[in-house]
Amino acid sequence: MHSQSAASVRSASRALLFAGALVALSSVGAAPARALSDTEAFYKGLEGLSAADREKTLVEGAKKEGTVVWYTTDGPTPTQVVIKAFSQKYPFVKAGFIRGKSQDILDRITTEARAGRNLFDVAKTSTETFDMYPVADVFAAYVSPAKTAIPENMRAERWSSVFTFVRAMGYNSRLLKESDLPKTWEDLLDPRWKNKILFDPSSLPEMMTLYTRWGRERAIDFVGKLGASGNLQIRNGRTTITQMLAAGEAPIGMTVYPYDVEALKSKGAPVDWALIDPSPGLLQPLSIARNAPHPYAAALLYDYLLSTDGQKVYAQMNRTPANPAVETSNPRERAAAKDPRIVFDTSGGRGSGTEEMLKVLDEKILKKKPKG
């Protein structure tokens, strides 16, 4: 058994390691040979200003620009809420956005960049896929006082997390009591869970979590067993899984987003979530474009999202703000981020680990016919 503090140190250091890895990756492109882009140079120029001056400069510039373009992974309603709040503070900036999954957004960004088109200002993605893209080519190195509010292990030169979340085990609270719950992934192999676990196919971070914690051999072996166990029922979409848990389709869902569960729970649905050992933690990197078409407005939006006001907006939607000073309506998740069972570093060392686990996931779990 590890003591809490030792564990949290371990977890924090892992987060640091991960952040370091990301930073290293981001910086790889920023080796001495890379010159500063215009946008980056511009931001560097702002660094000396006082907070008030900075704000004034940005506001004046943004008034002339009038627009900002945001690529985000948020859903329709959260996007609208956030943008409305931003517009209230800066009514002269019209915020346009594109939504999508992290992978889609990064695909779009890289494709547009390759064609020499600079169409976005700010992007919010997810660490699930982040490290597989040439981020140094498309995201700017950006320093801002707003960033300092975010814990160091949740930011780097080219990004900063807006909120954090973990992926946890969801369950139907009417069908299962907390004491019945499996505690570790290996518990999921138990035959009493036959056909009772809803499993989402896009679970690469989960696989990488196992890989990181247990090592390659054990992880691959386990995944094979899990696929052969007949306990899993593949269902698409974590949020759908949450809804299905609430409806009683099955007692357990792997994995779900705590904020989803909390949202339903508050409306009276019989769902809840718990951590399982180990679980992946994810960050939501917010970045500015390396060649932003509206650099002033971009900075305004970016800073806003990390500011107390912006973070509060997310908090109201059950997300756990990355800024520890901002209260969260989901304190359990915030606490979970420090839990030793959470693994933030899911990169597993870039490259072959990821490819291999994805293959294993596809072969052993997704392509298997369910038993019985």
Partner 1 sequence: MYSEKQTGAPASRVASLGSDAGARHGASALPRFPAWIAALSPPRIALWGLVAAVVYLTLVPLVMVIYGTFTDGPPGTDASFTFANYIDAFGGEELYQSGLNSILFALASGALSFTVGCFLAWVTERSNAPLKPLIYFLVLVPFVLPGILSTISWIFLLSPTIGVLNQIVVATLGLAEPPFNIYTFSGMVWAFGIDHITLPFFLMAAAFRSMDPSLEEAATVSGMGPFRTFYYVNLRIMLPSIFAVCLLMFIRGIETFEAPAVIGLPAGINLFATEIFLALRRAPTNYNLAGTYAVAYLAITLIGVGLYLRVTRGAERFVMITGKAYRPRNIDLGPWRFAVTLTSLAILTIAVVLPLAVVVWTSFMPFYSTPSWGMLGLATLDNYAAIFELEEFYRASTNTLITGASAATIAVLLSLGIAWIGIRTDIPGKRLLDMIAFSPIAMPGVVLSLSLVWVYLTLPIHIYGTLWILIVAFVTKFIPISLRIMHVSLLQVHKELEEAAEIANPSPVRNALFVLLPLILPGMLVGWLYVLTLTFKDLSIPILLSHVGTDLLPVLIFGLFQSGELPRLCAMGVLLTLMIAAIAGSTRWLATRLSVKTGG
Nearer to partner 1, 62 or 146 (CB): 62
To the nearest whole angstrom, how small is the minimum distance from the Cβ of residue 116 to partner 1? 8
Nearer to partner 1, 238 or 332 (CB): 238
To the nearest whole angstrom, how small is the minimum distance from the Cβ of residue 274 to partner 1? 19
Closest C-alpha to 18, from 307, 251, 239, 212 = 212
Nearer to partner 1, 116 or 191 (CB): 116
To the nearest whole angstrom, how small is the minimum distance from the Cβ of residue 316 to partner 1? 15
Q: How far apart are CA 371 and CA 79, in angstroms?
A: 41
To the nearest whole angstrom, how small is the minimum distance from the Cβ of residue 308 to partner 1? 24
To the nearest whole angstrom, how small is the minimum distance from the Cβ of residue 327 to partner 1? 23
To the nearest whole angstrom, how small is the minimum distance from the Cβ of residue 25 to partner 1? 14
Nearer to partner 1, 37 or 103 (CB): 103
To the nearest whole angstrom, how small is the minimum distance from the Cβ of residue 209 to partner 1? 17
Nearer to partner 1, 215 or 370 (CB): 370
Q: Residue numbers of the site for partner 1 (CB under 8 A)? A: 69, 74-80, 96-101, 103-104, 106-108, 110-112, 114-115, 117, 119, 129, 132-133, 201-202, 233-240, 242-244, 246-250, 257, 260, 264, 267-269, 355, 358, 362, 366-370
Nearer to partner 1, 213 or 368 (CB): 368
Nearer to partner 1, 46 or 98 (CB): 98
